[in-house]
Structure 1
Amino acid sequence: MVKTGLDIFLENIDGYRNRTIGMIVNQTSVTSDLRYSWNVLREKGLDIRKIFSPEHGLFATEQDQIAVGSQPVPDIELVSLYGSSSDTLIPDCTTLDDLDLILFDIQDVGARYYTYVNTLALFMEAATGRDLEIMVLDRPNPLGGAVVEGPLLDMAYRSFVGIFPVPVRHGMTPGELALLYRDWKKLDIRLSVLSMRGWSRTMLFHETGLPWVPPSPNMPTVESAAVYPGMCLFEGLNASEGRGTTTPFQLLGAPFINPNHLLEQCKGTGFEGIYLRPTWFKPTFHKFQGEAIGGLWIHVCDQNRFRPFATAVALTAALHKLYPVDLRFLDGVYEFNDTIPAFDLLAGTDSVRHALLDGNDTPSIISSWQQDETAFLVTKEQYHLYR
């Protein structure tokens, strides 16, 4: 079984007994026998002063884009890093004054827009110039560390769902991303990474032997994580990404979709490694709550051939071709941004949306970011902690 950075930390715990510690954690910060890290570290005599919780809260009780307020954690001060404004994403400097070590230990899902590592990046910026060590207790990228996919982030579209200068699917661990971000931003911080033992870049999550703890309310399974780097794009469309069902991101649908007609359009480039099953479903919350809508269920049959971002773009192209009047790209507030469409914030560029609206063929759209992928494969190698 893979040993996480937390496992390695516990093997060397005596070296941290004189530190005053804060932790950026949620319910995924567990030992191999599923005990919460903050409880274990306190039982072993460490001075845990504060917990900083990310989006969704310490136990992922809140849905996406919902401010996290009070949370029940006995005897430890808890600071939410996801409130009702963008200012809350950065810790107040006074909350760091009595700390000399911050431990980051949260399971990521391998997509640029998943916000936990973005919380880490902003925390690193807040710690610049302080006598404070940030230590990442590394965990696996559930999608592996070999494949990258999608366009690089255009800094004009930087937001809380796009902070790192990486493709949508980045193929890096939280520790590797932290090292990259420190160098890219030239941050004056004390950063260390406790690497995993036994993890390799070709390893998918089910091969690690580790338990899957849902990191957020709509990431119940590894299968959800596998499709997320693509299907999260549907948050920027007036089509459901399956929130309000038991299989979020594995489903897509809308009242205007005829499942069989859509299936006929979904062939060729972008649909490798999957089966699409026409279906109907009724979300219990979120888009189209309580309404039976038509759509498709994505079954991944070949993880090695499947490219989730390309698939989501191909699905969007098929929808636009079939329903040019009904399909819309959403405006409004999305992750504290009210000036840029959510689809563009997620893609990290407006070029994908414009290509779709212009009716460009799917292969040419997908090929448009291949140069970014090739360049980033070279860039990220210098931050690899694992073979």
Structure 2
Amino acid sequence: MKTQTGLSQLKDHVSSIKGNVAYLCHAASVDEHYQHGILTVKNLFGDRLKKLFSPQHGIFADVQDNMVETDHFFHEHFQLPVYSLYSETRKPTPEMLEGIDHVIVDLQDVGTRVYTYIYTLTYMMEACAELGIEVIVLDRPNPIGGVAVEGNVLDMDFRSFVGRYPIPMRHGMTMGEVAMMGKKYWGLDCALRVITMTGWTRDMFFWETQLPWVLPSPNLAAIETAFTFTATVIFEGTNISEGRGTTKSLETVGHPSIKNYELLDRLNREFQKAGLTGFVLRPVSFVPTFQKHTGKVCHGYQIHVTDYVQFKPWRVGQMLNREFYHHLGENFAWKQPPYEYEAKLLPIDILNGTDLVRKWIERNGSYQELEDLEKHDLYRFKDLRKDILLY
């Protein structure tokens, strides 16, 4: 049975949504026929749809990089103002929400803590709580499944726009469940309604939903990339290219000085010793057309997932980072601030939500130590999560 998203269910709730509405959306806010949700919401609410809001990367995913802000503008076709929540502010102002009774949030997440759309949702919940506005979340699938939970829980000393709350890197929640957790545990006490999906179960991967995949941000063009993203996004905190400027961004990692064939045997031995399976590293060379190492030949690996249940992306990414750090020596570097509006903490530490992983890498710690680091607070998170699951 094909999954029906909250957007598809919205028509059954129109009569209970009184007053004016705003719609927070992006390029992937489409229905099962690829029609954009703006058209759906406008058809359902007519002139009551007053404003549009957009997250990072812009309303149509046309803005490429981190900390590249998007402007507010007036959309000539829809005759609606579009307010960017990746601009001079990440939290909507009272002026932006003036005259609005309900904000409909319809964002496709990728299931990873550092993906900022969940924080755009929570900032919207904060603002609406202060103004007495209802937030209505149109739920969508977690594309990498709702069962597996992986990675260390964020230490709040490392809070940032890529990690605002104590959740692990792979959180196993839908957008609606993140909203429920925010209301129950994070003090986001707005009027909240989640319009749930039908035909989705926690063990489903995105292709099993039969829904169309539309890139939710410029470098996630394929559903397979959502799985490797959890492994490769941490390289944003290093001088290792995560493949931006290539056709396989966030599936491919590399650096001009990596001896990829020479290193491969060691990598495979380390992964085998750790019992990490479900993927193959294929040596590749690539030339980024922008961002890190533009125009230079980088050598590294494409991560090919062969078993999506067995693949543990967070652990694979951290092990790769450890090996690159010691393989490259003085050619390896941690990226320096600022990063995602954080001016003091190292980007790798806010991506990891702790400095303990970086210190583990630097001292060449064991895989068992990484597992132990991951377990800290993870059981408590899983217990809290049980109480808000919708499916």
Alignment TM-score, normalising by the size of structure 2 = 0.95
In structure 2, what is the Cα distance between the partners aligned to 1:39 and 1:161?
30
**2:313 counterpart residue number:** 308
Identity %: 36
Report deviation, 1:181.
Answer: 1.0
**2:375 counterpart residue number:** 370
In structure 2, what is the Cα distance between the partners aligned to 1:308 and 1:71?
38
Report deviation, 1:60.
Answer: 0.6
Deviates more, 1:365-374 or 1:203-212: 365-374
**2:20 counterpart residue number:** 20
Within-5 A mapping of 1:192-231 = 192-231=193-232
**1:317 counterpart residue number:** 322
Report deviation, 1:270.
Answer: 6.7
**2:298 counterpart residue number:** 293
Q: Answer yes or no: is 1:343 the counterpart of 2:343.
A: no
Paired residue type of 2:366: D
Paired residue type of 2:322: A
Report deviation, 1:297.
Answer: 0.8
**1:67 counterpart residue number:** 69
Preserved contact between residue 116 and residue 161 of structure 2 (Cα < 8 Å): yes
Q: Answer yes or no: is 1:353 the counterpart of 2:358.
A: yes
Deviates more, 1:136-145 or 1:66-75: 66-75
Within-5 A mapping of 1:193-272 = 193-267=194-268, 268=271, 269=274, 271-272=276-277
Deviates more, 1:57-66 or 1:269-278: 269-278
Paired residue type of 1:334: Y
Q: Answer yes or no: is 1:78 the counterpart of 2:79.
A: no
Deviates more, 1:175-184 or 1:202-211: 175-184
Report deviation, 1:147.
Answer: 0.7
State the Cα RMSD in Å.
1.4
Q: Which structure 2 residue ranges, 5 or more long, are not aligned?
A: none
**1:6 counterpart residue number:** 7
In structure 2, what is the Cα distance between the partners aligned to 1:286 and 1:98?
41
Cα deviation, 1:182-209, whole Å, max 9, x if unaligned, reads 2223233101101101111100001001
Q: Secondary structure at the match of 1:89?
A: coil
Q: Secondary structure at the match of 2:153?
A: coil
Report deviation, 1:70.
Answer: 4.7
Paired residue type of 1:39: L
**1:33 counterpart residue number:** 33
In structure 1, what is the Cα distance between the partners aligned to 2:276 and 2:241?
19
Paired residue type of 2:210: G
In structure 1, what is the Cα distance between the partners aligned to 2:74 and 2:285?
38
Q: Secondary structure at the match of 1:117?
A: helix
Q: Secondary structure at the match of 2:247?
A: coil
In structure 2, what is the Cα distance between the partners aligned to 1:310 and 1:261?
22
Report deviation, 1:317.
Answer: 1.2
**1:328 counterpart residue number:** 333
In structure 1, what is the Cα distance between the partners aligned to 2:4 and 2:45?
22
Q: Which structure 1 residue ranges, 5 or more long, are not aligned?
A: none
How many residue pairs get aligned? The number is 382
Report deviation, 1:130.
Answer: 2.1
In structure 1, what is the Cα distance between the partners aligned to 2:275 and 2:152?
15
Paired residue type of 2:41: L
In structure 2, what is the Cα distance between the partners aligned to 1:141 and 1:31?
16
Q: Secondary structure at the match of 1:93?
A: coil
Preserved contact between residue 150 and residue 372 of structure 1 (Cα < 8 Å): no
Preserved contact between residue 262 and residue 319 of structure 1 (Cα < 8 Å): no
Within-5 A mapping of 1:44-123 = 44-46=44-46, 47-65=48-66, 66-70=68-72, 73-74=75-76, 75-83=79-87, 85=88, 88-123=89-124
In structure 1, what is the Cα distance between the partners aligned to 2:16 and 2:26?
24
